[in-house]
C-alpha cells in the first residue's frame, strides 16, 4: 500500500519541482538569449544606416563638366548625370561606390582620412572646385 508511505510522494514531488524549476529556468535563459542575439544582429545594420545617413553628408552632384576624372573605387570614368558623393577631404566618388566602401571602412578611399561626425559636414563653398561646374542637391 502506497497510502501508508506519504513521504514517498513528497519525495517524488520534490524531484518534479526541482526538474520543473531547472527546465523553466533553462527555457527562460534560452528565450532571453534569443532576444539578446536578435537585438545584436539588428543593431549593427541599423548602426551602419545611422552612420551613413547622420554623420556622412553626401551630396548628389549633377556633373556638367568632368574631364578625365575617374572614381577611385570602381575605376570608371565619371559621366554626365552620375551621382557623386563628396567627402570632407574634397575627394569625390560615385555615390553607390562610396556608400559600399563606407559600409566596410570609414575612411576616404583616396587618402585614408578617417571620417567622424565632426568632419563629415562639408561646407557648400568647399565643394566647389575650379575645374568643375556642379549643381548641389542634398540627399533626402
Mean local confidence (pLDDT), 117-140: 38
Q: Pick the residue with more confidence: 39 or 79?
A: 79
Determine the Cα angle at 14 with ends 12 and 19, to 5°. Answer: 95
Q: Please check whether residues 61 and 41 belong to one and the same domain.
A: no
Which structural domain, as residue segments, surrounds residue 35?
A: 1-45
Q: Please check whether residues 71 and 13 belong to one and the same domain.
A: no
Q: Please check whether residues 13 and 68 belong to one and the same domain.
A: no
Per the confidence metrics, is the pTM higher than 0.75? Answer: no
- Main-chain phi, psi angles of 23, to 5 degrees: -60, -45
Question: What does the block give as the cell for 133?
Answer: 561646374
Selection from 9, 102, 91 nearest residue 51 by Cα: 102
Domain count, the chain: 2
Q: Please check whether residues 96 and 65 belong to one and the same domain.
A: yes
Asked if the structure places residue 50 within a domain, the reply is no
* Highest-pLDDT range among 5-9, 37-41, 94-98: 94-98
CATH number at residue 61: 3.30.40.10
- Main-chain phi, psi angles of 118, to 5 degrees: -75, -35
Asked if the structure places residue 121 within a domain, the reply is yes
Q: Please check whether residues 126 and 61 belong to one and the same domain.
A: yes
Q: For residue 120, what are the contacts with CB-CB under 8 A and spacing of at least 6?
A: 55, 56, 57, 87, 88
Amino acid at each position: 500500500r502506497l497510502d501508508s508511505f506519504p513521504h514517498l510522494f513528497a519525495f517524488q514531488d520534490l524531484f518534479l519541482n526541482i526538474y520543473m524549476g531547472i527546465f523553466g529556468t533553462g527555457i527562460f535563459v534560452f528565450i532571453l538569449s534569443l532576444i539578446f542575439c536578435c537585438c545584436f544582429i539588428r543593431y549593427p545594420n541599423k548602426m551602419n544606416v545611422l552612420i551613413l545617413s547622420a554623420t556622412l553628408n553626401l551630396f548628389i552632384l549633377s556633373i556638367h563638366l568632368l574631364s578625365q576624372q575617374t572614381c577611385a573605387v570602381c575605376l570608371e570614368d565619371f559621366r554626365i548625370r552620375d551621382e557623386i558623393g563628396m567627402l570632407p577631404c574634397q575627394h569625390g566618388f560615385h555615390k553607390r561606390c562610396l556608400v559600399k566602401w563606407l559600409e566596410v571602412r570609414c575612411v576616404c578611399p583616396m587618402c585614408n582620412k578617417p571620417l567622424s561626425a565632426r568632419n563629415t559636414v562639408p561646407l557648400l563653398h568647399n565643394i566647389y572646385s575650379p575645374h568643375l561646374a556642379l549643381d548641389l542637391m542634398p540627399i533626402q
